[in-house]
Amino acid sequence: MTSTEIFENNLLFFKIMKRYGDKVQCRCPAHDDKHASLTITKGRKCTLFYCHAGCTVDDVLNAAGLEKKDTFYDVEPRSPNWKAYVEAREKRRIEAVYNYVSINGAYAFTKIRCEGKKILYGRMENDRFIYGLPRDTPRKSYKAIYGSLQAINKAIAENKPVFVPEGEKDADTLIKQGYTAFTYGGVNDWQSDFATLVQRADVYILADNDEAGKRVAETIQNDIKTVAKSSKIIVPMPDIPKADITDYFNAGHSKQEFEKMLQQEQSTVKEAVREGVAKHDTPIKAQRQQDSRLEQVLKDLHAERYETSDKGFGRLFADVFKDRHRYNPSRKDFMRYDGKRWIDDIEGLSARASAKVLSDALVRYAVNVDTEGKYLKAVATLCNIRNRNNMLQDSKDVYFFSNEQLDVNDYL
């Protein structure tokens, strides 16, 4: 089990009131707690417990039914030498390690993701990574998932939903948000045997926004429909090609927004998935055409080469909208082109609206050009109105004109 899996398993023994990533506030089981005085944090080597009412760690663990050994991450290989060996051999850095378990809970194999999207499979034995799997044991024969069976069973018992995304990164994203999730791997790795894991469960299948993602989502729903209590297919970002749930949260969406989306999805959305559009957010055709044109402009400008700062975004805004919005220092406000001439943009409202359109387009554009997520995180800051205002402020001195120039020719 990974440190994340052990941490999440530890949390199953407590009543969580609030969660902030790897830090949670719980009711302490060692005393009559009405104020969530127990803080649980994912440490470097173990799960950390601190009761603000004064209970000792031993008291907390005993009351919860845990032992200290259950909180240490030493079941994950402790020696870093195996990672150094793999990185030296592959000549690239390890980005993530995923330990898969079979549907009966036994360790199956380890999947390593390296830089450059290189994937390695093998097994951990005596703190060493053994390359490859036995030739007579194909990977699918392990019937393995990435996730915690204990967490899945607990969620079902408590009538909480189980999420099935495509890929380990998305499973980790959901777990960090406080949800129960497991994944089968890639689009070709789902097996009908996995349906037994979600008997009597309310299941949300999170589909990547591409044809392969939608197809496997429908396959999963078809396989689990006779055993699950309910199942729904969700496309978190239906207007952004290839986007997934990690992209959704990286784009600045909150957990509250995600919860609202789930509440709106009261019925299966297979028809919407086939159309590539979710019921809760169906853009009109004209808007799609406008978005497509803007994304082509960003592509032509190589938007990712601009500085990801207020100044850089300001320059990008000016370059994109130089024929529509320009600042007039004489009037101390933006002006806009109405198709015939430059006219006043009262309080810069039109420019502000275009800044919002640009920020949305940049998020969609970033998903397609950014493999590591760094550019997406940078442009996602423009979802904040304050940052968009900073962008507009820094765009003012790029392409401006004065009243004198307009007096000569207001068709500039």
The angle subtended at Cα 55 by Cα 49 and Cα 58, nearest 5°, is: 65
Helix, strand, or coil (residue 43):
coil
CA dihedral 309, 240, 284, 344 (to 10 degrees): 10
Tokens of 267: 């019925």
**Which position has the higher pLDDT, 358 or 270?**
358
Please give the pLDDT value at position 279. Answer: 41
Which of 155-169, 319-333, 347-361 is modeled with the greatest confidence?
155-169
* Cα–Cα distance, 164 to 141 (Å, whole number): 20
Phi/psi of residue 232, nearest 5 degrees: -140, 140
Determine the average pLDDT of the residues in 233-259: 90
Please give the pLDDT value at position 333. Answer: 87
Q: Which residue has the tokens 């689009």?
A: 187
Please give the pLDDT value at position 284. Answer: 38
* Cα–Cα distance, 17 to 39 (Å, whole number): 10
User: What is the percent of the chain with per-residue pLDDT over 70, rounded to a whole number?
Assistant: 88
Helical packing angle, 349-369 and 285-301, nearest 10°: 70
Q: Pick left, alpha or beta for residue 302 (phi over 0 → left; psi -120 to 50 → alpha; otherwise beta).
A: left
Number of other CB atoms surrounding residue 300 within 10 Å: 9
**Which position has the higher pLDDT, 206 or 336?**
206
* Cα–Cα distance, 98 to 113 (Å, whole number): 8
Please give the pLDDT value at position 71. Answer: 92
**How big, in percent rounded to 5, are the helix, strand and coil portions of the chain?**
45, 20, 35
CB contact at 8 A, 105 and 142: no
When pLDDT is cut at 50, 70 and 90, the band that residue 338 belongs to is confident
DSSP states of 130-173 as a string? Answer: EES--TTS-GGGG-EEBS-HHHHHHHHHTT--EEE-SSHHHHHH
CB contact at 8 A, 336 and 345: yes
**Which position has the higher pLDDT, 161 or 409?**
161
Range name among 85-94, 282-291, 356-365 with the lowest pLDDT average: 282-291
Strand partners, 334: 327
Range name among 39-53, 271-285, 377-391 with the lowest pLDDT average: 271-285
Please give the pLDDT value at position 98. Answer: 95
Residue 323: alpha-carbon gap to chain centroid: 35
User: What is the percent of the chain with per-residue pLDDT over 90, rounded to a whole number?
Assistant: 49
Query: Could you give the count of Cα atoms lying within 13 Å of 22 in the half-sphere of its Cβ?
Result: 13
Helix, strand, or coil (residue 31):
coil
Q: Number of H helices and number of E strands within the chain?
A: 15, 16
Please give the pLDDT value at position 265. Answer: 65
When pLDDT is cut at 50, 70 and 90, the band that residue 269 belongs to is very low
Query: In one letter, which amino acid is 268?
Result: T
CB contact at 8 A, 200 and 184: no
Strand partners, 400: 327
**Which position has the higher pLDDT, 105 or 121?**
121
CB contact at 8 A, 179 and 234: no
Determine the average pLDDT of the residues in 272-293: 50
Determine the average pLDDT of the residues in 43-53: 93
pLDDT above 60 (res 403): yes
Q: Map 181-231 to HEC letters.
A: ECECCCCCCCCHHHHHHHCCCEEEEECCCCHHHHHHHHHHHHHHCCCCCEE
pLDDT above 60 (res 271): no
User: For residue range 181-232, what is the model confidence (pLDDT) as tens digits?
Assistant: 999 998 899 999 999 999 899 999 999 999 999 999 999 999 998 889 999 9
pLDDT above 70 (res 283): no
Please give the pLDDT value at position 246. Answer: 93
CB contact at 8 A, 112 and 97: yes
Contacts of residue 269, defined as CB under 8 A and 6 or more positions apart, other chains included, come to 232, 233, 234, 235, 278, 279
CB contact at 8 A, 3 and 71: no
CB contact at 8 A, 117 and 92: no
Determine the average pLDDT of the residues in 361-385: 78
Closest CA to 197 of 148, 160, 158, 268: 148
Phi/psi of residue 107, nearest 5 degrees: -60, 135
